[in-house]
Amino acid sequence: MAAGSGVLVLLVAAIRYRNSNVCKGFNIEIAGPSPYIDKKDIANILTIAGAGKGQNKPIHAFDLRRLEGALGKNLWIKEAQLFFDNNGILQVKVTEREPVARVFTRDGNSCYIDSSGVQLPLPDKLPAQLPVFTGYPAAKIMLHGGDSALTRDILRLTGFIRNDSFWMARIAQIVILSGNEFELEPEQGSQRIHFGDGTDIATKFRRLDIFYRQVLSRTDPDRYDHIDVAYAGQVIATKSGSMKTRYDSVQGMNNIRQMIRSAQQLQPDTIRQQNVRPLEGINNGTEQNLNTLDLLPGTTDSSATPPKNRKKTTNNK
């Protein structure tokens, strides 16, 4: 009991000694991917909030909670923690928000958003190279209410693109359509890619990747003016000047994986398909290398129609 009381007395004495001591200065550390706020900015905020220059001010005169709140009002600061170490140095630990996309609203304003969907102002420093979304329907980024689902889809889509260098380099912007759907505009070529909503992102890009590598790489990039990957197992394309005729190529994902594995091993097929057929219908004896498979026929067939199981959606182009 006496030993415990002694420890308590020493602890109280240490706290009193520290509080009666003076601040020896600030040590500011910023954790974050890019310096949208620097140490000078943080020191200015602390000074305005009552910390002064720090040196020779009694430690007990610092309201650390108030200082943390002042830092938290800066939109670029996600979290701030302040404490004094045993040497009388005010340790300032700041976590910066990470922008993940730039969003343009329909009224022409723009901002960054972070991984939580928080709206961030455009910084004075160099802008980040991020996916660009245009046509956001509200004046502000919505985290709750009607447009919050759209915001979540934007975060999922930008997260995938930012983690894939191939698509990051090839997509110029993502247009937001009515019904919370997306249309991709490539850096090169005149195609418009109807992506649908923010579900099944990885599988949609996988189909689009096959189309890019196995079809567009072998023809004029402007041969097709519209590509649609919004529907499961399908790549739907429109030839330039074809009056919006659609050609379906239905492919189960298991067959896609098999074709990718065997793409460099199979001999080219010499028979050109003249009509669009579901790829599932190709029997094992004649399954072709995707390099030579004619997903899109050379002749226009105005009677081509989508599969019966295709869901009808509104697509404003």
- Per residue in 21-33, pLDDT tens? 888 889 999 987 6
163 vs 122 pLDDT, higher one: 163
Q: Where are the alpha helices (DSSP H) in 21-123?
A: 39-46, 64-72
User: pTM value?
Assistant: 0.67
Instruction: Please give the helix or strand (H or E) that residue 196 lies within, else none.
Output: strand 192-196
211, 189 contact by CB (below 8 A):
no
127 band by pLDDT with thresholds 50, 70 and 90 = low
117, 138 contact by CB (below 8 A):
no
Residue 73, classified by CB atoms within 10 Å of its CB into exposed (0-12), middle (13-18) or buried (19+), is exposed
pLDDT at 289 over 70: no
- Per residue in 136-153, pLDDT tens? 999 889 888 778 899 999
Using CA atoms, how far apart are residues 121 and 76, in angstroms rounded to an integer? 8
pLDDT at 254 over 60: no
Hey, do 2-96 and 164-281 end up sharing a CATH topology, with the first three levels equal? no
Pick the CATH number of 2-96 from 3.40.640.10, 3.60.10.10, 3.10.20.310, 3.40.50.300: 3.10.20.310
- Residue-averaged pLDDT of the chain: 74
Distances (CA, A) of 45 to 14, 41, 303: 30, 6, 67
> Can you tell me the mean pLDDT for 262-275?
37
131 vs 257 pLDDT, higher one: 131
- Per residue in 161-200, pLDDT tens? 999 999 999 999 999 998 899 999 998 877 899 999 999 9
Q: Domain spans of the chain?
A: 2-96, 164-281
> Can you tell me the mean pLDDT for 57-77?
92
pLDDT at 35 over 80: no
**What is the CATH class of 164-281?**
alpha beta
φ, ψ for residue 285, nearest 5 deg? -75, -20
Using CA atoms, how far apart are residues 228 and 234, in angstroms rounded to an integer? 8
pLDDT at 267 over 70: no
232 band by pLDDT with thresholds 50, 70 and 90 = confident
pLDDT at 286 over 50: no
Residue 14 has a pLDDT of 52
- Per residue in 69-105, pLDDT tens? 999 999 999 999 999 999 999 999 999 998 999 999 9
